Structure 1
Amino acid sequence: MANAKTIEPDQDQSHPVVELRIRATPDQLPVLRALASAIAIHENFDLDAIADIKLAMDEICTHLIVRSTEGAVLVCRLQFLAGTLRVAVSTTTNEPDDFSPRSFGWRVLETLTDSVDITQEPSGGATGYVTTMEFSKTNGMYS
């Protein structure tokens, strides 16, 4: 099972984390885009930033879904903290990820977001890896 452990709520619960666990299948992409969009709207991001967030969510989720193991779960965690929306999406993948910072997809993510990162560690199971992709987007109202 995937575990997105980089985004954690504060102990006082003033900065909650929204977490969604969903099948790692392409038909779930609209749900994930809608979730990211709803949080961005709630936090008063402008329309361009909301579109960027939805596209970034689509890009990382698609990247992970096509590499996920059969029956895998996608774990999506979102947190708005200090004017920045942080998103981490994890799943179990079959092979080491080769997502290069020089690839077109990576460049797209760098353009749409303020930061992007990918981490991978061996799965607790017999095979596979837990792959986590993260991005952040700052709300211009807070700059």
Structure 2
Amino acid sequence: MVERDEEVLVARPSSTLADEERPPEDVEVRVPAVPRAVVTMRTVAADLAARAEFTLDAVADLRMAVDEACSGLIPLARPDTKLTCTFILDEERITVTATVSTAGHERLPTDSFGWRILTTLADDVRMLSATGDPFRLALRLSVRRLGTELA
């Protein structure tokens, strides 16, 4: 028996809208919050950026930034929970939100080498949290297409 640990949900814009009226494409991927699952998130990020015709440098930066974000969140995740990444593509950038449930009010250290790498690779990085049980910790990052200005 083969078990699938990964879920891929893709929402595509309606084909009845004109190209300029289409909303951004969103893709959400959920995998077990374990280190071996990071490769899935890296691969999805790189594929989406390449298909959106981002430069090779932007694709590589996004891939490494997603790797660093997911690798930072996984050690803080509750056992047997999911790592969720939402990818939002628009004309100017790809925005990724990586989220895990944590046991407490966990935060990533912003004075670490990993944080420095993340903030160097991405154009914008934000740490987000949601209180409750379970507590949710998220990293939102964006990489913009070459030739677009920061908003």
Could you say which TM-score interval applies, normalised by the shorter chain?
0.7 to 0.9
Q: Note the C-alpha offset of 1:29.
A: 1.1
Among all aligned residue pairs of Structure 1 and Structure 2, give the percentage whose two residues are the same amino acid.
27
Question: Structure 1 length as normaliser, TM-score?
Answer: 0.83
Equivalences for residues 1-143 of structure 1 within 5 A: 14-123=23-132, 125=133, 128-143=134-149
Q: Deviations over 1:49-100 (max 9, x none)?
A: 1111111111110111111001111111001113110000111012323323
Structure number with bigger Rg: 2
Contact 2:125-2:141 within 8 A present in 1 as well? yes
- Give the CA RMSD over aligned residues: 2.1
Unaligned 5+ runs, structure 1: 1-8
Contact 1:64 1:93 in 2 (8 A): no
Mapped to 1, the partners of 2:51 and 2:99 lie a distance apart of: 24
Aligned length: 132
Deviation at residue 141 of structure 1 after TM alignment:
4.2
Check the 8 A contact 1:22/1:28 in 2, yes or no: yes
Shift, 1:35, TM fit: 0.3
Task: List 4+ stretches of structure 1 deviating above 4 A.
Answer: 9-13
Moved more, 56-65 or 9-18: 9-18
State TM-score, norm by structure 2. 0.79
Structure number with the bigger relative contact order (C-alpha 8 A, sep ≥ 6) is: 1
Structure 2: unaligned runs, 5 residues or longer: 1-11, 15-20
